Amino acid sequence: MNSPALVDQPTARPREPRRLAILGSTGSIGCSTLDVVRHLGGRDAFEVAALTGHTNIRLLASQAIEFGAEFVATADDSQAAQLKALLAGTGIESGAGHGAVIEAAGRDADIVMAGIVGIAGLAPTLAAAARGSDIALANKECLVSAGALFRKEIARGGGRLLPVDSEHNAIHQCLASGGRERLERIILTASGGPFRNYSLTQMSQVTPATAADHPNWSMGLKISIDSASMFNKALEMIEALYLFETSPDQIEVLVHPQSIVHSMVGYSDGSILAQLGTPDMRTAIGYALAYPERAELPVERLDFTRLSRLDFHAPDETRFPALRLARQAMRQGGTFGAVLNGAKEKALEAFIAGEIGFLQMAEVVEAVMSRYGSSNAPDSIDAVFAADAEARTHAGEKIAALRSAA
Ligand code: NDP
Ligand code: MG
């Protein structure tokens, strides 16, 4: 005889499909998001309102066909005809250029995955926020560059902001325990990247290919190199500042090479809460897509009996000056997030192009930041873009000076 259920089981009721747009669907976050969508029921669970890409239009078109997207956009306007040809006969609408990406972002969607890399993601994500969609935020540059203004747009639109960056997602999960007013500290963990144990001399000789080879996480090229220089953690400190509205000195960074503890929060009673898991972005993506429920995903489960150890140590700010620069940007406030990010993006492109060395990226950012005094918080998104553009110009000058001195 079956024993009676101890609690009433809710009748399983299929959820209405949720409308989803993915900005940057051809990237690492975009592809992982579509993988999560497949596992959560594919077209039965999600109506794909829009997908966007940039250079990889073959992949973009095949994703659109697999998921029955309503609209696809490539940011590259020279590829308009080719994208149309790839979608011929499918009934899928397409567009090309910056305006088309903005149009995709503003389509009717319950949730928008912000997975474009860099400041290029800001305007489309703002369009989605203004429309009132929930924002699953992978693009940390939105908060780093536009901070409070970005939050204001989200509040105005009325959607929710769900962090996908694994550290911030972990903190979001920890903060669900309540007691927010007694939060003392946020501890962002960092793997330390592939050069964690390198000397400065070794670091001065690394190539973009070795810098892109992250020991734990599989990510896009730029964020992988940013992880190696710890500029990724620098951006994440500023991201945390605006996301969780703390003061700069409540944000700590702790090197944790195994990437199992994804971040922690500390309360005034001495409690520390952490979120743990194997390093797989699908957990954070699934959390955002299923929120406030939980997704069921084939992510490798953590087996504590097989973990030999968890290490933690303080970061070395001499070898990784990005962290010191982030602290400076957080203290100075104003447009400093946009300046740091703009200079960093320009320096990163120069490193990838072989124009400057690995350690010179921080040298460029520091030189640009030193040109500014304190500034007021930007009062418009145009002011953010202006600060970004000016920082890139200054970074370009410093890069040219370094090249001619070499
Ligand atoms: P990728 O480089 O893998 O993908 C970037 C996406 O943006 C691609 O779809 C690319 O198109 C598109 N894109 C590139 N340039 C432009 C542009 N100028 N205009 C419009 N679209 C553009 O990056 P990731 O997926 O690794 O990262 C995306 C964002 O998520 C970044 O902000 C990153 O910091 C953040 N993030 C990523 C994590 C990860 O695990 N990858 C973890 C945490 C945060 P195409 O490929 O077709 O050229
Ligand atoms: Mg992260």
* pLDDT, tens digit, 9 for 90 and up, residues 103-156: 999 999 999 999 999 999 999 999 999 999 999 999 999 999 999 999 999 999
- Residue 259 Cα to ligand 1 middle (Å): 21
Closest C-alpha residue for ligand 1 atom 16: 54
Query: Tokens at residue 79, please?
Result: 């590829």
Q: Is 226 in the pocket of ligand 1 (CB under 6 A)?
A: no
pLDDT at 5: 45
Phi, psi (degrees; rounded to nearest 5) at 122? -65, -55
pLDDT at 308: 82
| Residue ranges, the chain, pLDDT below 70 | 1-14
Q: Which atom of ligand 1 is nearest to the CA of 166?
A: 43
Whether residue 61 contacts residue 44, with contact meaning beta carbons closer than 8 Å, is answered with no
Which ligand gives the minimal distance to the CA of 214?
Answer: 1
CA–CA separation, 366 and 201 (whole Å)? 20
Tokens 């490193």, residue located:
351
Q: Which atom of ligand 1 is nearest to the CA of 223?
A: 34
pLDDT at 7: 44
Q: Which atom of ligand 1 is nearest to the CA of 232?
A: 34
pLDDT at 248: 97
Name the pTM for this structure.
0.95
Which ligand gives the minimal distance to the CA of 193?
Answer: 2
Can you list the domains of the chain with their CATH numbers? 18-164 (3.40.50.720), 177-278+300-306 (no CATH), 333-405 (1.10.1740.10)
Q: Is 288 in the pocket of ligand 1 (CB under 6 A)?
A: no
pLDDT at 374: 78
pLDDT at 57: 98
Closest C-alpha residue for ligand 1 atom 45: 54
Helices (H) and strands (E) in the chain, counts: 16, 11
CA–CA separation, 22 and 40 (whole Å)? 16
pLDDT at 6: 46
- Residue 116 Cα to ligand 1 middle (Å): 4
In a 10 Å sphere around its CB, with 0-12 CB exposed, 13-18 middle and 19+ buried, how is residue 386 labelled? Answer: middle
- Residue 113 Cα to ligand 1 middle (Å): 11
The Cβ of residue 93 has, within 10 Å, a number of other Cβ atoms equal to 18
pLDDT at 3: 43
Full DSSP string of 34-61: HHHHHHTTGGGTEEEEEEEESS-HHHHH
pLDDT at 2: 44
Measure CA of the first residue to CA of the last residue in the chain; give whole Å.
83
